[in-house]
């Protein structure tokens, strides 16, 4: 007997339909799975056999061959357990094809027949919807996650037996329904606030400018000065995620298996803070079957690199192209995958190896050569992609103990949103194939068009470049940051105060760097 049950598999961050073809024929009892299965798929034969028996069904003592089509794409994971088990039951017990036709099935089986959750439910639901299937059947733990995809009925079931009874019409299961707007509002509540930070008004202002123009930022200061605390509150002043952006981020986190049943939607901007010992594959993405890395998990959010010089050189250099293009392409012998990487880069570092260079309250024990080697770990091309450099000195006791009220994230976010709206209006036309949505994305042509400065501003910028020894790469960065500062003040022209503030944000871009 032959049966065909539909399922899905992940390729990158997208899913595709897989036909699970099962043939049961007379002969010596064997169980073979073909179609480029990985180890987890091959081992499913043992889980499937035990699950069928322990669910009260008879397991055929015959020759069983399972083919996963298309056979030229690698299949991985345990999500094929359920469709393989159903294929055997359909071929052996004569289950009518009309009962399971046009449904997609996925789920890992326990030995007792219980369904366990799988990764990538959002992508799989999108594939089922785009193929115009009647519905998607998967573990109940993944139902809410998959049901966020509209126009495809999603059925969350708990076991193989319940699935078989559902197909026969003996168990009634209603499609899972999710109020996305309610779920979005419920989970889009930040856990931290900018008002938690006392002092550091200069740094807070720099974060506001960075958020308004989507500028990458580098914070330099001694240990314990509050760099990490400031970075973690940056997402709270960024414009809120749109529903489309939330679904994009949710799709990536779903593939990696980072969603939970109680929080199936990424409703706040992601904040990723990988440890400095991370590998290049962990940061950029990779593997035999490429998976998203930290730069993709931070898509539509913030990627924070603490202790920047401690990261491996190849990891930092590998980030240059994702920062510039907003995507990362990973090539393998048989395939090439592209993942989205549109994020804000926030970096923090000490001024020297011991951390106290320039600190008036601690003695620096580093030699000039050690400081030079430490700072040289950050290459010029990477530094060129960071628009704002600021110093974050240690707070004095009076600042730390102050009880004076400070601006909260909501107030700052309102100003940021107004500035972003101006930029959206400015760049809404004539952006070509790569639309610009923030000042940080401007190229030389856009800088020349939108960053016109007055004679007074030009004179001051000339003096700053000459006297402060700012490098050539600082010129365009200063103009773009000045444009953002002007947008925050709703000014059409870039005035000298805007240039002055922007120059202050290039503390590390000096000739002696």
| CATH class given for the domain over 2-168 | alpha beta
In this prediction, residue 222 carries a pLDDT of 93
Report d(CA 103, CA 224) in Å as an integer: 56
Residue 335 CB coordination number (10 Å)? 13
Tokens standing for residue 319: 């980030």
The sign one gets for the Cα dihedral 24, 27, 31, 32 is negative
Q: Is the pLDDT of residue 389 over 90?
A: yes
Are the CB atoms for 59 and 26 separated by under 8 Å?
no
In the block, residue with structure tokens 């400031």: 230
Number of H helices and number of E strands within the chain? 23, 18
Span 326-343, mean pLDDT?
87
Span 318-345, mean pLDDT?
89
Which among 96, 95, 82 has a CA at the least distance from the CA of 136?
82
Q: Is the pLDDT of residue 205 over 90?
A: yes
Report d(CA 499, CA 460) in Å as an integer: 8
Span 212-230, mean pLDDT?
94
* 241-297: pLDDT as tens digits: 888 899 899 999 999 999 887 788 898 899 999 999 999 999 999 877 788 999 999
The share of the chain scoring above pLDDT 90, in percent, equals 63
Q: Which burial class, exposed, middle or buried, applies to 74 when counting CB atoms under 10 A from its CB (0-12, 13-18, 19+)? A: middle
Span 184-189, mean pLDDT?
73
In this prediction, residue 369 carries a pLDDT of 93
Q: Who contacts 388 (Cβ-Cβ below 8 Å, separation ≥6)?
A: 206, 209, 210, 215, 216, 217, 218, 481, 505, 506
Which among 34, 8, 2, 3 has a CA at the least distance from the CA of 105?
8
Are the CB atoms for 438 and 477 separated by under 8 Å?
no
In this prediction, residue 433 carries a pLDDT of 47
Q: Is the pLDDT of residue 429 over 60?
A: yes
List, as one string, the DSSP characters of 150-183. TTS-EEEESBHHHHHHHHHTSS--PPP---HHHH
In this prediction, residue 434 carries a pLDDT of 53
Q: Which helix (H) or strand (E) holds 217?
A: strand 217-220
Q: Is the pLDDT of residue 430 over 70?
A: no
Which among 102, 20, 104 has a CA at the least distance from the CA of 64?
20
- When the pLDDT of each residue in the chain is averaged and rounded to a whole number, the result is 90
DSSP-derived letter for residue 453 is B
Span 365-392, mean pLDDT?
90
Q: Length of the chain in residues, anyone?
A: 513
Report d(CA 226, CA 194) in Å as an integer: 12
In this prediction, residue 472 carries a pLDDT of 67
User: Rounded to whole angstroms, what are the CA distances from 93 to 3, 137, 164, 204, 358?
Assistant: 11, 20, 11, 68, 79
* 64-118: pLDDT as tens digits: 999 999 998 889 889 999 999 999 999 987 777 778 889 999 999 999 999 999 9
In this prediction, residue 15 carries a pLDDT of 94
- CATH 3.40.50.300 domain locations along the chain: 187-407
Q: Is the pLDDT of residue 339 over 80?
A: yes
Cis peptide before 507 (omega within 30 of 0): no
Cis peptide before 65 (omega within 30 of 0): no
Are the CB atoms for 211 and 218 separated by under 8 Å?
no
Span 459-486, mean pLDDT?
85
Are the CB atoms for 65 and 102 separated by under 8 Å?
no
Domain with residues 187-407, CATH architecture: 3-Layer(aba) Sandwich (3.40)
User: Rounded to whole angstroms, what are the CA distances from 50 to 44, 266, 342?
Assistant: 10, 36, 45
- CATH 3.30.230.10 domain locations along the chain: 2-168
Are the CB atoms for 120 and 87 separated by under 8 Å?
no
The H-assigned helical ranges of 188-319 are 201-213, 227-232, 243-256, 280-284, 294-297, 313-318
Q: Residue 509 — pLDDT band, cuts 50, 70, 90?
A: low
In this prediction, residue 512 carries a pLDDT of 47
Distance of CA 93 to the CA centre of its chain: 45
């Amino acid at each position: 007997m032959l049966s065909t049950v539909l399922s899905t598999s992940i390729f990158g961050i997208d899913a595709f339909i897989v036909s699970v073809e099962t043939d049961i024929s007379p002969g010596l009892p064997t169980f073979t799975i073909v179609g480029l299965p990985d180890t987890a798929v091959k081992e499913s034969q043992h889980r499937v056999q035990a699950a069928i028996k322990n669910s009260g069904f008879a397991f055929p003592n015959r020759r069983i061959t399972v083919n996963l089509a298309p056979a030229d794409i690698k299949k991985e994971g345990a999500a094929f357990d359920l469709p393989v088990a159903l294929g055997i039951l359909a071929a052996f017990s004569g289950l009518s094809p009309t009962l399971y036709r046009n449904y997609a099935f996925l789920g890992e089986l326990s030995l007792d027949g219980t369904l366990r959750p799988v990764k990538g439910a959002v992508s799989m639901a999108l594939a089922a919807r785009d193929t115009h299937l009647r519905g998607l059947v998967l573990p109940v733990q993944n139902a809410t996650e998959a049901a966020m995809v509209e126009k495809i009925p999603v059925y969350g079931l708990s076991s193989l037996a319940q699935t078989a009874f559902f197909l026969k019409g003996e168990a009634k299961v209603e499609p899972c329904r999710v109020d996305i707007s309610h779920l979005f509002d419920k989970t889009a509540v930040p856990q931290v606030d900018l008002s938690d930070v006392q002092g550091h008004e200069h740094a807070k202002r720099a974060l506001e400018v960075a958020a308004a123009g989507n500028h990458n930022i580098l914070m330099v200061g001694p240990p314990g000065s509050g760099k990490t605390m400031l970075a973690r509150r940056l997402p709270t002043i960024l414009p809120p995620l749109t529903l489309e952006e939330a679904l994009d981020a949710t799709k990536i986190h779903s593939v990696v298996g980072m969603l939970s049943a109680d929080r199936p939607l990424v409703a706040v901007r992601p904040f990723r803070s990988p440890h400095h010992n991370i590998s290049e594959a962990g940061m950029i993405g990779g593997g035999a079957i490429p998976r998203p890395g930290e730069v993709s998990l931070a898509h539509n959010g913030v990627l924070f690199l603490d202790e920047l010089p401690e990261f491996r050189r190849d990891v930092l250099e590998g980030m240059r192209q994702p920062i510039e293009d907003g995507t990362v392409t990973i090539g393998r012998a048989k395939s090439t995958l592209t993942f989205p990487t549109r994020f804000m880069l926030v970096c923090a570092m000490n001024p020297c190896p011991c951390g106290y260079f320039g600190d008036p309250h601690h003695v620096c024990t580093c030699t000039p050569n050690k400081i030079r080697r430490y700072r040289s770990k950050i290459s010029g091309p990477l530094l060129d992609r960071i628009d704002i450099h600021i110093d974050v000195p240690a707070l004095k006791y009076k600042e730390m103990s102050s009880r004076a009220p400070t601006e909260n994230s909501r107030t700052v976010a309102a100003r940021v949103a107004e500035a972003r709206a101006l930029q959206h209006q400015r760049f809404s036309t004539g952006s070509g194939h790569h639309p610009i949505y923030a000042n940080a994305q401007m190229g030389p042509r856009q800088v020349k068009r939108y960053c016109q400065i007055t004679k007074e501003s030009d004179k001051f910028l000339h003096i700053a470049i000459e006297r402060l020894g700012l490098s050539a790469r600082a010129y365009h960065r200063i103009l773009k940051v000045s444009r953002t500062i002007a947008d925050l003040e709703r000014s059409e022209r870039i005035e000298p105060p805007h240039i002055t503030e922007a120059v202050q944000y290039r503390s590390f871009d000096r000739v002696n760097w």
